[in-house]
Amino acid sequence: MIIRGASRGNGKQLAQYLQTPAENERVEFFGAWGTSNPDDLTASIIEMDRFAKLTKGSKSIYHAIISPDRDESHKMTDEDWLFCIDTLAKEQGLHGQPWAAQKHLKDGKWHMHTTHQRYSVELGRFISDSHSYKGNDRARATCEIKLGHARTPQRNENRPILTKNVIDAWQKSKTGQEFFDRCKDYGYTVASSTTRRPFMIIDENGRSFDLLKKLRDKPNKFSVRTAQMKERMKDIELPSDKSVIRNIRTQQKARIAKENKELFEDMTERERRKSEFAKKFKPRDHDKDHER
């Protein structure tokens, strides 16, 4: 399971985005709570957003995505989704705040968008969203345990190595193509993205990372700016991050299927040999043994 989120404003645009099919196969309103129009997603989100006028801030909504694995997403009941929403709210300090949720079916897998009102009427201010990624991680772990989902590793031990290799590839290359090829040699793919992060780096396991964040080395005061990256990669047609990840997942499934087939064939061969070996020996006739 993956849970990620961030604070934002412009509730009207968010509501429109959540109800637009785009690349989704299905879009379903899950529900809302604590708003004056709980049967209306747009009205609920706009209502949450209006509380920003009572503050100097603009990020009135905490928008999160709850994304289980494909098979598990189809097994989840409404109660399971509600448990995830409630757990996320508790870990973000948003328990008891109004919320609204929308489900999307994309590439055969369900995921849910949740929106929580950050403004607390009792406190008269926004609820803090500092270190929200830690709350998301705790919520994910709790949901996986409660729902019996496969556990997600908390930390990718290869991240420091990835950063080191990507910086090395950048410093040793002079052109975009050379940088792309050096990353390939390390097992990574540089890809484009339709999100706010224009460039992604994808490892051999299909994990994607913000490329510019991986090209930062604070101790050595090294970093690559977006303009520098765009200038170097301007003549290269990069694959999309989604297509790269999709291809890696397809290869992984094919490899697992092949391994399972070979294992089955090996087990079948052992059973055959065992059967042939057993045929060489006639079973003892216990009646004749008794006569002797």
Q: Residue 186 and residue 188: Cα distance in Å, rounded?
A: 6
**pLDDT tier for residue 291 given thresholds of 50, 70 and 90:** low
**pLDDT tier for residue 23 given thresholds of 50, 70 and 90:** confident
| List of domains in the chain | 2-147 (3.30.930.30), 157-279 (no CATH)
Q: Residue 120 and residue 103: Cα distance in Å, rounded?
A: 26
DSSP 3-state of 231: helix
This prediction has a pTM of 0.58
pLDDT tens track for 247-266:
888 888 887 777 777 666 66
pLDDT tens track for 75-121:
999 999 999 999 999 999 999 999 999 999 988 899 999 999 999 99
Q: Residue 77 and residue 178: Cα distance in Å, rounded?
A: 49
- Structure confidence at residue 278 (pLDDT): 66
| Residue 105 structure tokens | 């079916």
Side chain identity, residue 274: K
